Copies of this chain bind each other. A is one copy, B any other.
């Protein structure tokens, strides 16, 4: 095998397996078998299992963040410096949702790997994860540019909720399908993004009316 292809084979096999089964259940022997390389190749090319995971995570989080910021900046320049609130939230949750959901099996291992990574608290990831806070602050700033007089806490809560909804929709697709008996269409990703964006925007306004009790 031509040298550097080994690295790539390991990386993509590891990413796919981790996305499917989680970190705890995937051994190095699983990875090298799937990648058709020797067991020692991981240690030779990456140093250790943790360093392999860390490299995967760093690479992927850079890519994800870049996608999000690209969408955000495109929306801001299109709006002459101020993006619409819809566009801001869509830039935040769209890339990951499109990467993870959708009909057929076009699901990206990368996006699903990131979801796994955000769930499992393994040391090499914990450290890097703090950067996401800075990333989110840029979205908070974008919203504040669009709504200069808005309450800061409400902005943070709405970002928090937006990610929560996107995240759980990806992670617990199965439960929602079972619960709704097919009434919720999980193949129409654009509609899902639109729904999450819409709810996130509503969440921006702190408890507007006492939220009509609507008894009956």
Contacts and interface: CB of A to CB of B under 8 A. Distances in A.
Interface of A: 22-24, 71, 74-75, 78-79, 82-87, 90, 94, 119-121, 130, 132-133, 136-137, 140, 146-147, 152-153, 156-157, 159-161, 163-165, 167-169, 172, 175-176, 178-180, 183-185, 190, 193-195, 197-199, 201-203, 206-216
A152 B184 CA distance: 9
Copies of the polypeptide in the assembly: 2
A137 B175 CA distance: 11
B140 A179 contact: yes
Which 9 residue pairs spanning A and B have beta carbons closest together? A164-B168, A87-B214, A156-B180, A202-B202, A198-B211, A198-B207, A153-B183, A84-B213, A24-B24
Contacts of A207: 194-195, 198
Contacts of A71: 215
Contact of A157 (B90, B164, B195): B195
A85 B194 contact: no
Contact of A146 (B119, B172, B214): B214
Nearest to A183: B153
B208 A198 contact: yes
A214 B84 contact: yes
Contacts of A209: 198
A197 B195 CA distance: 17
30 contacts: A24-B24, A71-B215, A75-B214, A82-B215, A84-B213, A84-B214, A86-B211, A86-B214, A90-B214, A119-B120, A132-B175, A133-B178, A136-B175, A147-B216, A153-B183, A156-B179, A156-B180, A157-B184, A157-B195, A160-B168, A163-B168, A164-B167, A165-B165, A190-B213, A193-B213, A194-B212, A198-B209, A198-B211, A199-B199, A201-B211
Contacts of A193: 213
A132 B210 CA distance: 30
